[in-house]
Amino acid sequence: MDCVPDLVVQKIADVRGGLGGTIQHLDDKYILRFLIARDYDTSKAEEMLKNHVQWMAATGYAQAHTWIIEPVVKDAFKFCIGGEDKEGRLVTYLPMGKWAARQMLTAGEAKEVDRALYRMSSCAYAALSQAKIRDKYIPILDLADLSYYTVAHYETAQLIVRMFREQEQNFPETLEAIFLINSPWVFNIIFPLVKPILGRSTLQRLEVYGSSPEKWIPALLNRIEVGKLPSMLLENYADEVKAYCGV
């Protein structure tokens, strides 16, 4: 790594020494993210990284992007990977408000829902490894159509909380920014459950917008050229984007 202080290099070495062969396959930049997330506290970074390695093994996450998901569940959790910001970072689009989480969970599809979400996340990180800039990416979470019916369901609320918790615990310092668009009033019900989970770095990068495209479209275009927005977002909001751009 370039321009890393000797003290940080030593802390990375200390983490390697503490965890031994369990992390020999991880490069220094990977380990550094966990150190940053724990304010360079070596013992806390070791614990976080140890738990991460165990979680990766338990979930089979490394191969999750290759999993075949039942069509009905796959269709209930659509997503789009392939956008790019002005500097070459990966941009993803998750229309979470339209996800049929409650319906799938009450239909007894909890295990397949987990597989679908792990596959989604794994696909994003597989794409990140091929991006021009590979350290961080930008997810766009679209909450349009998120309803009280969804967030009032205990299992669905817990699923949402777990999604964010696992992101924070296993992929620290990977978000360049995170956009929440079309935030409805029910967001105020679920966000107090999620906020304590989010690290300081994530909260600083979080931008929340209501249902006015004239607010969130310019915010996105400030970072992303219109032609590089995720294709699913462009399909969903073709008229709004054209109107804003004067096309």
Are 115 and 62 in contact, with CB atoms under 8 Å apart? Answer: no
Residue 148 sits at the vertex; the CA angle it makes with 142 and 150, to the nearest 5 degrees, is 70
Q: What are phi and psi of 221, to 5 degrees?
A: -70, -15
pTM, entire model? 0.94
In this structure, are 147 and 40 located in the same domain? Answer: no
Q: Across the 247 residues of the chain, what is the mean pLDDT of every consecutive 10-residue run?
A: 77 92 91 95 96 96 96 97 95 97 97 97 94 94 96 95 96 96 95 94 96 95 96 96 84
Q: How many domains are contained in the chain? A: 2
Q: Whose structure tokens read 């790019």?
A: 84
Report the candidate in 13, 17, 47 with the shortest Cα–Cα distance to residue 32: 13
Q: Is residue 238 part of a domain?
A: yes
Find the domain containing 90 and state its range.
64-245
Of 59, 75, 96, which residue sits at a domain end? Answer: 59
Predicted confidence (pLDDT) per residue in 159-197, tens digit = 999 999 999 999 999 999 999 999 999 999 999 999 999
In this structure, are 235 and 141 located in the same domain? Answer: yes
In this structure, are 77 and 11 located in the same domain? Answer: no
Of 36, 59, 82, which residue sits at a domain end? Answer: 59
Sheet containing strand 80-84, edge to edge, reads 80-84, 89-94, 133-142, 178-181, 206-208
In this structure, are 128 and 219 located in the same domain? Answer: yes
